[in-house]
Amino acid sequence: MKLILLLVLAIFVSGCSSKKKDSKHEDVKPNIAFEISEGILHPESIVYSPIHSAFFVSNVASGNPLETKPVGYLSKISKDGKVINAKWVTGLHAPKGLAIVGDDLYVTDVTRVHKVSISSSKIMKTFKVKNSKFLNDAVADAEGNIYISDMQSDIIYRIHDGKLALWAQSPKLENSNGLFTDGKEHLLVVKWGTGLDPKTFKTEVPGEMAVIRLANKDEITLNQDIRGNLDGIAVDASGVLWISDWMNGDIFTMNKQGKVKKMFNFGQGSADLSVAKDLNLLMIPQMNQSKIIFIQL
């Protein structure tokens, strides 16, 4: 955690700079451990639980992110890549972001957030988010609070003490997507971009990163060292951030000095990536290809 905190502080400082991203780089050949496509249909997010020794995947299923029929579902996969239950939890509309607190798995679902009991494999509670438009990612801090982005607004919601409410709102948070927190100090938000066309999801201006100080949600710094239709953000065991660009299919790293490097490209649809630190694995849901790529770091 100390290493992660140093990373976030470095990014917070670099957000005030005007460094240029190095565009002269070659893709690195990924060390692919395995891929999963069995039972997977337009996956958006994946998260690993060391307690349960399992991965959990959100499947939009229909391929339509604005689907109103409950065709979406969650999959459960063993830590060695075996499908335990392809349709572990069903009846969801278009599930996306995932966050785990103990035995509870929080799932964003268009205008709702579900609290799923992992041990009982069922939805225990549903939060209806009034006036929300397109809930996307979810992340938990060290106190068990859940932060939720709304991709078609400038709002971050939070679940605190079992209640969901608007937490932060700012033009700097417009079209927020992926979320990451060091747990206590900062919340990092990667954005899709501005001038969003809700039908095509294309933008006039590419997204950037916003850094929010948890102790003061109005203290928001923008970091433009990374730009694109940004989707997922996670950190590995060495403190390096991994960030995906959904539209271009690029996977980037950002080191503790804020330097950005393009690593891989898996094609359009590289969604809400995640890292399983215990297994030293980077997991990339390929939404358009209906598979998940597991890379050994």
Average pLDDT of 176-185?
Answer: 95
pLDDT score for 62:
84
- The pairs formed by 147-156 with CB atoms below 8 angstroms and a separation of 24 or more are 147/179, 147/181, 147/187, 148/97, 148/108, 148/113, 148/179, 149/97, 149/176, 149/177, 149/178, 149/179, 149/189, 150/176, 151/175, 151/176, 151/177, 151/192, 152/196, 152/198, 156/187, 156/189, 156/212, 156/217
Length of the chain, please?
Answer: 297
pLDDT score for 14:
40
Whether pLDDT at 238 is above 70: yes
Q: Label residue 10 by pLDDT band (50, 70, 90).
A: very low
Q: Is 1-31+133-270 a domain of CATH 2.120.10.30?
A: yes
Domain boundaries, the chain: 1-31+133-270, 32-128
Backbone conformation region of residue 42, classed left if phi is above 0, alpha if psi is from -120 to 50, else beta: left
Average pLDDT of 148-173?
Answer: 97
Quick: pLDDT tens for 63-112: 665 556 789 999 999 999 999 999 999 999 999 999 999 999 999 999 99
Average pLDDT of 190-209?
Answer: 88
Distance of CA 162 to the CA centre of its chain: 22
Question: How far apart, in Å, are the Cα atoms of 1 and each of 4, 7, 36, 196, 283?
Answer: 5, 10, 30, 35, 21
Whether pLDDT at 224 is above 70: yes
Place of tokens 């102790």: 215
Classified as helix, coil or strand, 2 is: helix
CATH number of the 32-128 domain: 2.40.10.480
Can you read off the two tokens belonging to residue 133? Answer: 């438009």
Can you read off the two tokens belonging to residue 88? Answer: 């572990």
